Amino acid sequence: MKRIIAKICYVWLIIFMLASQISTVCADDVDNGDFLEPSIEKKITNGLIDVSSNNITEQPKTNSRRYVVYDRISKTIIMGKDENVKSAMASTTKVMTATIVLENTSLDEEVTVSGKAGGTGGSRLGVKKGDKITVNDLLYGLMLRSGNDAAVALAEYVGGSVEKFADMMNQKAEEIGLNNTHFVTPHGLDNSEHYTTAYELAKLTDYALQNETFANIVGTKVATIYINDRTMQITNTNELLGVLNGVVGVKTGFTNNAGRCLVTETKRNNMDIITVVLGADTKKFRTNDSIKLIEYTFSNYEMVNIQTKIIEEFTNWKNINEKRINVIQGKKEYLNPTLGEIELQTIPVKKDKIDNIQYEINTIISIEAPVEQWQKIGNIVVKIDDKIIEKVEIINTEPIEKKSWRDYFEYLLEKLTEVSCLKW
């Protein structure tokens, strides 16, 4: 009898351990006892917080293995740690899933859930085989509840199958310029061929947020959706949304391989940043790392208009040097220089580095004709502590032909005529 009881207990123990393992591997945001540090937790409990005025001068140390802070205005990296290292991305995958859906179908279309979608494990919206639900409500279930079942239902509806939908995801990744990203699933459960980098995930999120519908969905704290004829209220898994000042989205994630992940967009004053943390050990670390990076950025960086300064520096240079570039054997003696395209208009600069911004102008001193229109003759280089931030070409606006023998003959006749007139 004791042996039978022991065996039963042993079997139940194995079942419990397997269930726990499955939950840990597949769940998107199970707390597992992870809490914020008391000081921040108290501030969050009391509502909106803004500690951007705090004197945060040292770049934060993080538990997260990889992170990046990305400026949406200049499309540049403010800071990062192993931001180009390939990594599992868990449910942050759904940023791309939602993007593909929004670009390829209508929100009011109705989806009938398949058995495969209804049986998908991990974090779930709760749809089952035969349920009818709109694309719109599936998207809310995808991005707020992080439903893996919603991800598969949408993939099958839009792509015909999960595999074909993954092809669409990878094609879009290529279009956006994500060279170190590859998708296998629409939900992000662990797969060795499913990966991205912190930097490319920030680029993807920046692209996705340009879609107003996407931005509205990920910025929603609580939503009511309809499955068949019944209503269901769902809450966003993003712990910073509606809590930390300026946070407007976007997505959480967790698997055993990926660790705790969080992608956050934050807007304050005239700055708009995306923070990505990947590979945190706990939800507490994920949250605290994100907060520290966000607050450090807003405390220590500000947007600087370098376009105005570049134009000013070029204008001053042109007034002095325009007629100092000699055109050898040209029908015109001087060039007519202008600035090429300025890609970066405003950039985030650390406050104590603003006075260190340098503008260097480098041009040729002479050029042999013929000179083509729009030919490059120099550049303006913008540097901060010898690091190149921007490089703008200086180009010639008017073509200049090379003198022919006729030009030299006419010039000689002109000079001879001048000499003859002087003698007479």
Which sequence positions are flagged as catalytic?
91, 94, 146
CB atoms within 10 A of CB 295: 21
Dihedral over Cα of 39, 45, 51, 56: its sign? positive
Q: 67 has which bridge partners? A: 81, 277
Rg of the chain taking only CA atoms, in angstroms: 30
- Quick check: helix, strand or coil at residue 346? strand
CA diameter of the chain: 139
Strand 326-328 and strand 366-368: pairing? Answer: parallel
**d(Cα 304, Cα 209) in Å, to the nearest integer?**
23
- Quick check: helix, strand or coil at residue 303? strand
**d(Cα 205, Cα 210) in Å, to the nearest integer?**
9
**CB under 8 Å to 401, separation ≥6 — which residues?**
330, 331, 369, 370
CB atoms within 10 A of CB 341: 7
**CB under 8 Å to 61, separation ≥6 — which residues?**
none
Q: 195 has which bridge partners? A: 182
DSSP 122: S
| Site of tokens 């590979």 | 279
Closest CA to 162 of 170, 154, 174, 173: 154
| Site of tokens 């930097």 | 199
| 342 neighbors 390 (Cβ within 8 angstroms) | yes
